[in-house]
């Protein structure tokens, strides 16, 4: 029997596929969304429901059981309640002011070679060292540690608030029902299909993989070779990303026919890869699932918002605040979502550390400048 415990177990086990196929599963998620002290009390009062339980976890169970007697009617009631609450939240955000604040960030630099773990980076680089010199550590604060911390905080701030801006655009559409309270693996429902929103770029590793498959050299190797042909010097001991940046900038400054041809060749190759994934979004979506970080693995339905600045792919981060480009692209996608065949959004994928095949509904929205 698909009772509360059935859906609760599926959610805890990250077996989320069935939630997209069953209105009762959707009802469970929506009920979980309002299981906050003030919200559940307000919903119960507005729908003449008397909850006997006082503990929040038990109220969740009691309310779901009550609503399960008429799933269709209950889904409608929850929709109305959540939309009313969402409209109030939308009114509190000054998007124009938020966009202005986001435009104040001029450089997107994490300030260190770490992946979403500043504490581990700082400990390994400055604490657990061979030379435990206190004076040496102090000397690093202004030159290195301060830069790393500032970069991490500024970029985290930018990512958080640009995500709020983007979610606001989604939540403003009539076809979107947001989760009021945070639910693991669900940000909102589109026509009752639960989705987790992921904002990303066209991954460098994906481009690298496609270049290899297409018989093209690694971008760094190609640029190094062309730099030598153009007699452009560069720091060969620097990080790969820094070498690429140096060569590209020097070629831009040289601005002769040879350098411009090299840069155009790289751009055209990237645009060809972009065209491929635009024509086949499921291909990129599957790659993103299969190459996600192990610590943040998830098999939930995902809607990927892929941002691409075709003039300079490294500047794609700026599109997170480009509301004049974001809003019409997102709203147009949502306007046409009801015409999609949901079965076309289904993919199967595997993950390196999991011995099973996962299924999910997924799609990609490309925001291209």
> What pLDDT digit, counting tens, does each position of 154-173 carry?
888 999 999 999 999 999 99
Distance, CA of 333 to CA of 173 (rounded, Å): 11
* Residue 99 vs residues 96, 102, 165, 215, 305: alpha-carbon distances, Å: 5, 5, 8, 42, 18
Distance, CA of 8 to CA of 220 (rounded, Å): 49
Pairing of strands 193-201, 302-308: parallel
Q: Rg of the chain's alpha carbons, rounded to an integer?
A: 24
- Confidence band of 14 (pLDDT split at 50, 70, 90): confident
If we measure between CA atoms, which residue out of 289, 283, 304, 290 comes closest to residue 198? Answer: 304
The predicted pLDDT at position 114 comes to 59
pLDDT value at 231 more than 80: yes
> Considering the entire predicted model, what is its pTM?
0.89
* Residue 10 vs residues 14, 17, 176, 182: alpha-carbon distances, Å: 6, 9, 24, 18
Length of the chain: 369
Average pLDDT, the chain: 91
| DSSP, residue by residue, 123-175 | IIIIIS-SS--HHHHHHHIIIIIHHHHHHHHHHHHHHHHHHHHHHHHHHTSTT
Q: Record the tokens describing residue 57, joined without a space.
A: 């976890």
The predicted pLDDT at position 112 comes to 66
pLDDT value at 331 more than 90: yes
Mean pLDDT of 278-298: 91
The predicted pLDDT at position 126 comes to 72
The rounded percent of the chain whose pLDDT value lies above 70 is 98
pLDDT value at 368 more than 80: yes
- Confidence band of 142 (pLDDT split at 50, 70, 90): confident
pLDDT value at 115 more than 60: no
């Amino acid at each position: 029997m698909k009772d509360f415990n059935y859906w609760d177990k599926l959610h805890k086990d990250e077996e989320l596929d069935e939630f997209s196929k069953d209105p009762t599963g959707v009802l469970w998620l929506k009920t979980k969304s309002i299981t906050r002290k003030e919200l559940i009390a307000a919903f119960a009062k507005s729908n003449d429901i008397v909850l006997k339980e006082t503990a929040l976890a038990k109220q969740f169970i009691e309310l779901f059981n009550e609503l399960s007697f008429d799933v269709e009617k209950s889904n409608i009631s929850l929709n109305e309640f959540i939309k009313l609450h969402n409209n109030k939240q939308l009114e509190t955000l000054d998007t124009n002011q938020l966009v202005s604040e986001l435009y104040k960030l001029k450089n997107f630099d994490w300030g260190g070679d770490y992946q979403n773990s500043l504490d581990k980076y700082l400990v390994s680089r400055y604490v657990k060292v061979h030379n435990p010199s206190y004076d040496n550590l102090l000397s690093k604060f202004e030159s290195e540690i301060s830069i790393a911390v500032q970069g991490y905080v500024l970029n985290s701030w930018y990512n958080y608030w640009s995500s709020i801006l983007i979610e606001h655009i989604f939540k403003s559409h009539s076809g979107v029902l947001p989760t009021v309270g945070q639910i693991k693996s669900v940000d909102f429902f589109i026509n009752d299909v639960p989705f987790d929103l992921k904002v990303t770029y066209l991954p460098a590793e994906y481009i690298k993989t496609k270049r290899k498959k297409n018989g093209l050299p690694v971008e760094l190797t190609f640029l190094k070779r062309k730099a030598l042909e153009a007699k452009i010097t560069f720091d060969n001991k620097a990080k790969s990303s820094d070498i690429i940046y140096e060569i590209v900038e020097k070629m831009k400054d040289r601005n002769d026919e040879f350098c411009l041809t090299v840069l155009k060749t790289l751009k055209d190759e990237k645009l060809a890869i972009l065209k491929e994934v635009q024509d086949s979004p499921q291909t990129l979506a599957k790659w993103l699932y299969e190459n996600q970080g192990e610590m943040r693995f998830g098999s939930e339905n995902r809607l990927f918002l892929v941002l691409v600045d075709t003039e300079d792919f490294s500047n794609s981060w700026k599109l997170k605040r480009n509301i004049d480009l974001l809003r019409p692209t997102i709203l147009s996608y949502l306007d046409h979502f009801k015409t999609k065949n949901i079965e076309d959004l289904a993919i199967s994928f595997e993950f390196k550390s999991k011995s099973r095949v996962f299924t999910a509904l997924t799609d990609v929205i490309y925001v291209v400048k």
